[in-house]
Amino acid sequence: MKIICPKSELQKSVSIVMKAVPSKTTMPILECILIDAATNDIKLTANDMELAIETRVQGLVIEKGVLALDAKIFSDIVRKLPDNDVTIETDEKLNATITCEKAKFNIPGKSGEDFSYLPLIEKEGCIRVSQFTLKEIIRQTIFSIAVNENNKLMTGELFQIENNMLRVISLDGHRISIRKIGLQEECEDRKVVVPGKTLNEISKILSGELEDMVDIYLSSNHILFEFDDTKVVSRLIEGEYFKVDQMLSSDYETKVKINKRELLDCIDRATLFVKEGDKKPIIINIQDGQMELQIDSQIGSMKEEIDIEKEGKDIMIGFNPKFLIDALKVIDDEEVSIYLMNAKAPCFIRDDNQQYIYLILPVNFNAVSR
């Protein structure tokens, strides 16, 4: 094999496929990037058996062939090369020589024999969204997937297509995040659970531009994202996702309108007194025209008031401050509406069109001991 690619192109493509290289594995071939120049196209592939990424590199095939290179070493070399054309060449023993200007690297290669290419997904029923939208919708929901693997379904996000809307849902037992967007083209109703890791990695690759599109295809076990010169295929998480609609309610006893920035800054200050692992709630006391936030801990205490617009009853309720911060951070509105029922029922932060809904369970607190 012998190929020539501009360094910048090669670096971009290597960094894309690196997202599917496992950090630890018992199968050494998975630690490699496959360079496939069997045709006149040059393709890079990496595959950790859950997530597989293939991307095309701009470049010239001088001698056709296939080669697998240790991903870590190959990417380090490419990153440090001068900004010029890079030649990658193998001898009959699959030793690779990487040359750029006067720099010449020799590293051992492997044949691509044992390498797993991307699973084939039939391209039926394309779901098309902009890269911006997909990246945003992931950012706005991914924080409330579960960290531990006790319940596999909670480590993924529900992608639900219904009436030409895409609804993305994540939950971890303490809170639920829901985002909804309209789809431009007619789509069949479907629902699948996509691993959180896949979504994290793909959002790092997406350009985030409104005019760049992503085509999404579903099979019974896989999801395929196609965009630019890249294909990302991920396994789906099997099983029936939680019936979220039963947990949502539009009833409320108290409605609060509040400046998002003020609330976020205030809760952020309160978390000073919350050490990691410590479950100190922030206590919110809602009265006419004013919300008082208070936190008490062994280190010290903090109290602050914020002006609000209130409808309905007064209420005092406690929350894990982190959950409020996570949700408020990904809401772009200047003013948010919070809906509350009582001190033991979840609160809802949602907009009028319900394009976003954040449900957060309250924390018990002993009102007497304050």
Interface positions with a copy of itself (CB under 8 A): 73, 76-77, 80-82, 102-108, 265-266, 268-269, 272, 299-306
Q: Which CB, 216 or 291, lies closer to a copy of itself?
A: 291
Name which of 105 and 227 has its Cβ closer to a copy of itself.
105
Residue 356 CA to residue 138 CA, distance in Å, equals 13
Residue 73 vs 248, nearer CB to a copy of itself: 73
| C-beta of 212 vs 296, nearer to a copy of itself | 296
* Smaller CB separation from a copy of itself, 268 or 335: 268
At 197, phi and psi to the nearest 5? -60, -45
| Complex with a copy of itself: residue 123 or 303, whichever CB lies closer | 303
**Least distance to a copy of itself, CB of residue 98, Å:** 9
Cα(102)–Cα(281) distance, integer angstroms? 61
CA distance readout (Å), 87 to 62, 71, 90, 127: 10, 17, 10, 38
Reduce the DSSP state of residue 312 to 3 states and report it: strand
Nearer to a copy of itself, 229 or 304 (CB): 304
Residues near 138 by Cβ (< 8 Å), separated by ≥ 6? 157, 168, 199, 200, 202, 203
**Minimal distance, residue 327 CB to a copy of itself, in Å:** 19
CB of 124 to a copy of itself, least distance (A): 45
Strand partners, 361: none
327 to each of 16, 158, 308, 320, 322, how far by Cα in Å? 29, 18, 19, 12, 9
Least distance (Å) between residue 283 CB and a copy of itself: 14
Q: How far is the CB of 334 from a copy of itself (least distance, A)?
A: 17
Q: How far is the CB of 303 from a copy of itself (least distance, A)?
A: 5
Is there a contact between 194 and 237 (Cβ–Cβ < 8 Å)?
yes
Compute the least distance from the CB of residue 306 to a copy of itself, in Å: 7
Q: Is 187 helix (H, G, I), strand (E, B) or coil?
A: coil
Cα distances (angstroms) measured from residue 279 to each of 252, 275, 322: 27, 8, 10
CB of 30 to a copy of itself, least distance (A): 18
> Helices (H), strands (E): how many in the chain?
6, 26
**Nearer Cβ to a copy of itself, position 40 or 298?**
298
> In this complex, which beta carbon is closest to a copy of itself, that of residue 275 or of residue 313?
275
Residue 276 in contact with residue 252, Cβ under 8 Å?
A: no
Give the shortest CB-365-to-a copy of itself separation in angstroms.
18
Alpha carbon distances (Å) from 143 to 36, 140, 171, 178, 328: 36, 7, 9, 11, 12
CB of 77 to a copy of itself, least distance (A): 6
Structure-token pair, residue 131: 């890269």
Nearer to a copy of itself, 232 or 258 (CB): 258
How many Å is the Cα radius of gyration of the chain?
Answer: 25
Please tell me the distance from the alpha carbon of residue 352 to that of residue 25, in angstroms, as a whole number. 47
CA dihedral 250→251→255→259, nearest 10 degrees, is -20
